[in-house]
């Protein structure tokens, strides 16, 4: 509540002082509809033959709606924040149940999450040296740094990175960044991940979350990212993460048998984006390794049912790679398209990812975790800030499982109303 009040205070202060030049206000949002031509039963992998002819199912969703507020206090100090509502936010209510001897009951009326995705204060020393302090984006891979709906062609965020990595990955910490010529760097100090929240289906995806009112930081992690802009229209980036994750929990274990367990998470990533003339191409390759995965798997499966842990095995290595390319055909159809700033991209996308790419000897490899995805579709921009998307996706699993194909359509916006 206090965070929201602070943001309102900043906005009111800016308006009353007529300081529009220092104020930024905007955001992004997505609305999506999907028809999935496969079963959503939890046993569809363990008993695949029983669900070969399953009926399709549909879903409406509001994956993300975010509101951003920024304020430049002066040339050296600035603030930026971003509040995100995922899947429609949450609705809960307290009721007095007459049928249960007048007991109070809390009921969830709508699922979803409300997330403070960014909230930081920054000190600028020079274009080459900036210190950012607060809740920040962790720039590992492509998607976290480029998570707004006009940063990718598909209706939903890239599936591979969204599966094995926290996405969008955000943590409270320190960031030192700057740009020198055609190079940009960023180095971060963050709290470590929590290995109790790792699992077979999403590898370390859940490890950045905290089910508590604070983020536990018994362990720390470091991030380094470097981007180059030397070639016209092309950005290429390398990023890396390293940190320990075991015992970064509210009740760490001090048992002798876990004394040497570190749960070191190492991630390396390459990504690029090319924009020139009527062509846009993007791609990434992520590879991650978790040490002591066997010990962490055994430990997590021994936790109580009340634990937020998935309590499943976790792999030692995970992989994700994706490539998409689109071509704007509108100038071929309408002469005035460029002047009207309208675009129509025909695109294709390919992904491969596996949250259990490698496992140690005593950990079962769930082969349904490895899959390919091929997508074809359209992106229509009636204006630069709004995009209408449509796609057909083929989810290709190994032969003993059923493929997971779908059709999706969506509409989204991204931009600043005041900047």
Report the predicted TM-score, pTM, of the whole model to 2 decimal places. Answer: 0.89
In total, how many domains does the chain have? 1
Residue 60 lies in a domain: yes
189: in domain: yes
Rounded Cα distance between 248 and 265, Å, is 12
Interatomic CA distance for residues 236 and 270, integer angstroms: 8
256-263 contacts at long range (C-beta below 8 A, 24 or more positions apart):
258/295, 258/299, 261/292, 261/295, 261/296, 261/299, 262/291, 262/292, 263/195, 263/290, 263/291, 263/292, 263/296
Domain-embedded: residue 370 = yes
Tens of pLDDT along 384-414? 999 999 999 999 999 999 999 999 999 999 9
Least confident segment among 257-261, 334-338, 404-408 = 334-338
- H helix runs in 217-340, sequence order: 293-301, 330-333
Supply the mean pLDDT for the chain: 89
- Containing structural domain, residue 225: 24-89+113-253+261-418
Is residue 12 situated within a structural domain?
A: no
Q: Is 67's pLDDT higher than 70?
A: yes
Mean predicted confidence (pLDDT) in 145-166: 95
51: domain CATH number is: 2.40.160.10
303 assigned to some structural domain:
yes
Flag whether 99 is in a domain. no
- 13 in a structural domain: no
Tens-digit pLDDT profile for residues 94-138: 554 444 444 545 555 555 678 889 999 999 999 999 999 999 999
9 is a domain residue: no
- The pLDDT score that the predictor gives to residue 161 is 96
Q: Residue 211 has what pLDDT?
A: 78
């Amino acid at each position: 509540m206090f965070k929201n009040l602070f943001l309102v205070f900043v906005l009111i202060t800016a308006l009353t002082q007529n300081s529009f030049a220092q104020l930024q206000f905007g955001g992004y949002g997505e609305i999506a509809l999907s028809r999935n031509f496969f079963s959503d039963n939890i046993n569809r992998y363990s008993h695949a033959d029983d669900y070969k002819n399953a009926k399709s199912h549909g879903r409406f969703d509001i994956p993300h709606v975010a509101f951003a507020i920024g304020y430049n206090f002066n040339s050296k100090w600035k603030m930026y924040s971003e509040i995100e509502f995922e899947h429609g936010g949450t609705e809960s209510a307290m009721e007095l149940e007459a049928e249960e001897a007048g007991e109070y009951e809390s009921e969830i009326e709508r699922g979803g999450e409300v997330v403070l995705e960014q909230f930081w204060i920054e000190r600028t020393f020079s274009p080459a040296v900036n210190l950012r302090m607060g809740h920040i984006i962790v720039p590992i891979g492509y998607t976290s740094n480029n998570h707004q709906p006009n940063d990718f062609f598909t209706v939903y965020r890239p599936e591979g990175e969204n599966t094995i990595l926290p996405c969008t990955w955000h943590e409270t910490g320190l960031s030192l960044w700057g740009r020198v010529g055609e190079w940009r760097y960023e180095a971060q100090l963050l709290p470590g991940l929590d290995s109790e929240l790792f699992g077979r289906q999403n590898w370390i995806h859940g490890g950045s979350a905290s089910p508590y009112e604070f983020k536990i930081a018994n362990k720390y992690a470091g991030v380094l990212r470097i981007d180059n802009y030397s070639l016209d229209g092309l950005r290429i980036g390398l990023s890396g993460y390293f940190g320990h994750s075991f015992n970064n929990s509210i009740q760490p274990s001090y048992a002798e048998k876990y004394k040497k367990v570190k749960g070191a998470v190492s991630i390396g990533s390459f990504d690029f984006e090319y924009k020139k003339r009527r062509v846009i191409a993007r791609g990434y390759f992520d590879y991650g390794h978790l040490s002591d995965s066997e010990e962490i798997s055994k430990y997590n499966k021994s936790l109580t049912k009340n634990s937020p842990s998935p309590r499943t095995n976790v792999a030692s290595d995970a992989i994700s790679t994706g490539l998409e390319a689109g071509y704007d055909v509108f100038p071929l159809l309408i002469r005035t398209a460029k002047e009207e700033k309208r675009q129509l991209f025909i695109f294709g996308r390919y992904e491969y990812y596996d949250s259990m790419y490698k496992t140690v000897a005593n950990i079962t490899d769930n082969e349904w975790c490895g899959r390919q995805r091929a997508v074809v579709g359209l992106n229509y921009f009636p204006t630069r800030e709004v995009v209408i998307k449509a796609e057909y996706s083929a989810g290709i699993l190994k032969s003993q499982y059923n493929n997971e194909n779908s059709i999706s359509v969506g509409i989204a916006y991204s931009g600043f109303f005041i900047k």
